[in-house]
Structure formats: C-alpha cells, structure tokens
Amino acid sequence: MEFPRNAENPGLRVFTPTPEYMLAMKCMAMRTGGPDTPSDISDIMNLIGVTGIRSIQEILTLVEKYFPAKLVTPRTLFGIQEILNSLDEGRKDRDQEKGT
C-alpha cells in the first residue's frame, strides 16, 4: 500500500524482501548452527514451502538470480540437497500415514 508523500508529510517507507529473495539469502548463508548458535535450516524449509519450489535446480536458478553462480559453494549445494531430501522424506511419511 502506498501512501501519499509530499514535503509536508514525507512519511516512512519500509521495504520488505520477497520470500524468493529471503530463500536465496538464507541458502547462501547456510548457517547450520549448533546448540548455542542460530541455524538457517528451518527458515530454508519454511521458505521452500512458501515459494513452492521442489527441486535443487529451481533453487539454484533462484539463487543465481540474486548472486553470481561462482559464489555458490559445494557446501551450499550439499546443504540444499540435504534439506530437499529431508522434505521429501517428510512428504513420503505423511503420504504413507494417510494411506494406512
């Protein structure tokens, strides 16, 4: 929503990133965390759900929209693949529970 802006009422503009941009940033950061450190994994899983992305190629295309491809490390690729595998396993388990 855009509010009128003029010299008398300049207002405040707030910009929020899209879920796609947040996903790309979280994938590039890929903090795995530990007992006392933050992790990006649950954020990445949630953002994958929000964006509807299902494959590593879709994620890489998205990441490369915002970051140079040469900055995507093998560690990032492995992390993304592991997260997608985990999500797939969760879907399979839910599907099996529904079928029984």
DSSP annotation string for 49-94: HHHT--SHHHHHHHHHHHS-GGG--HHHHHHHHHHHHHHHHHHHHH
Amino acid 5: pLDDT = 67
Amino acid 3: pLDDT = 61
The first and second tokens of residue 18, run together, are 């899209």
Amino acid 1: pLDDT = 58
Instruction: Output the tens digit of pLDDT for each of the chain's 100 residues.
Output: 566 667 676 677 778 999 999 999 999 998 877 767 778 899 999 999 999 999 999 999 999 999 999 999 999 999 999 999 999 887 777 777 877 5
Q: How many CB atoms lie within 10 A of CB 40?
A: 20
